[in-house]
Chains A and B, each alone.
Chain A
């Protein structure tokens, strides 16, 4: 435990050239309140490399056109760029085919799509939906709404003091009444990496379908939906160095084919008369209306950026930051790390005795340090730990050990002001 800073720097330096990487992210160059920006709110949204920003301006400056139905050159160019992203994402999560990649606004929309379409079709009175105690409101509220509508029940997998799901309790919750299990791959508040493969396989024994919320996993872990055997997998582009307003829903083909459309409109139909219509095939059945073309096109560049660095190197780098920062935080009097799961990504939530997280956040901002404070859209989880919120620092591929040091110094200074 606890490598020295020098050892860490050397280890990280061998992984990749961090100074070079930081230059790819123009936003990082700025100062905030006269101090260099230290951006540690990556779990909320990551910054974008220049290639992604260029892709956006390039799209609007040279080939903006509505896709699919056009026969002119720009429309074809836009369509092919748009579809290329689908191809890239298919590889990114190892989906068997491109038509299983459905573009959404993001994770939240993906979950709502499944809850509305698959859920309404398949959930009956008395059925059970299992979610975990670690869920973001996005993976809780749509299921609660569905349950209320159908007279079904939402059951919660409890969380232990370390922030791990209690798997024995999960097994006890599973029954023939279980129809859907929805859990996150990684907790946005605690950083816990959940044993989703095991969760899926146990659910499948009861013939329940499983949705994995990959919002926090996609930028850190290798995603292989086939190996996981996930029925649905959702993620957001903006959390993996891509634009806002674009994400994907992956689903197993036979499930997606049997599902009714989510929204009606253009693009999702095959034929329409005044009396009826027939629906388009996958994935267009679920993509009504003109999609978010520009952001979809640019998302490909984010994935390519990640692939170029390699998730393994990114993970190693982020893990160094996680270990180092965790170790340093432990030395701060009265500071408690919330979430000490066996397997974590580079997300650290903490609380400090007698000090409100909002005060920490405001004072760190004075040093140009951006963290997130509050309940992180996981109010039930906060209740589980008897707190109203935490301060959360989350690290990305471009963060440095020096930034971790600034965070620690900033916290120490804030504590001095507040006590």
Chain B
């Protein structure tokens, strides 16, 4: 399993292939389309991430001390964005998820692409995933 840093660097490389922002959007949409199916039983209000116009659902589980995320959205661009986050963070250890900085957003030029209030959606997604990880981290530590 590559590290959070390694996956981020790969994503930055991928996005550097496009200089047109519309192409970047197309890539984000395509990534969203490839996201693994999300069990509709998790599409409940408690799993909704607030702060974006599109609905985004996030669910997680802990296996072998690693956090596994699954997500979905009714918006294609939001789905693409969360799929990138899932790709980076799913399968990592809680501590890694909590402590790693997600610099790819700036470096891949996604901050301007998903600017202003749209970025709030992105920020809320990151925050929510880190919160899940923090909860697992606390749980694991209390068991020690």
Contact = CB atoms under 8 A, between A and B. Distances in A.
B29 A418 contact: yes
A417 B75 CA distance: 13
B21 A33 contact: yes
Interface string B35-65: 0000000000000000011110000000000
Contacts of B118: 358, 362
B22 interface: yes
Contacts of B53: 356-358, 373-374, 389
A358 B78 contact: yes
Contact of A417 (B21, B26, B52, B54): B26
Contact of B77 (A362, A388, A389): A362
A359 interface: yes
Nearest to B112: A33
A389 B75 CA distance: 12
A350 B11 CA distance: 35
A359 B77 contact: yes
A258 to B, nearest CB: 43
A359 B79 CA distance: 10
A363 B52 CA distance: 16
Given A356-B54, A362-B118, A418 B76 contact: yes
A366 interface: yes
Interface string A345-386: 000000000011111001100100000011000000000000
B6 interface: no
A363 B21 CA distance: 10
Contact of B25 (A356, A358, A363, A388): A363
A359 B76 contact: yes
Interface of A: 33, 355-359, 362-363, 366, 373-374, 388-389, 417-418
12 contacts: A356-B54, A356-B74, A356-B75, A357-B53, A358-B77, A358-B78, A359-B75, A359-B76, A362-B77, A363-B77, A388-B55, A417-B26
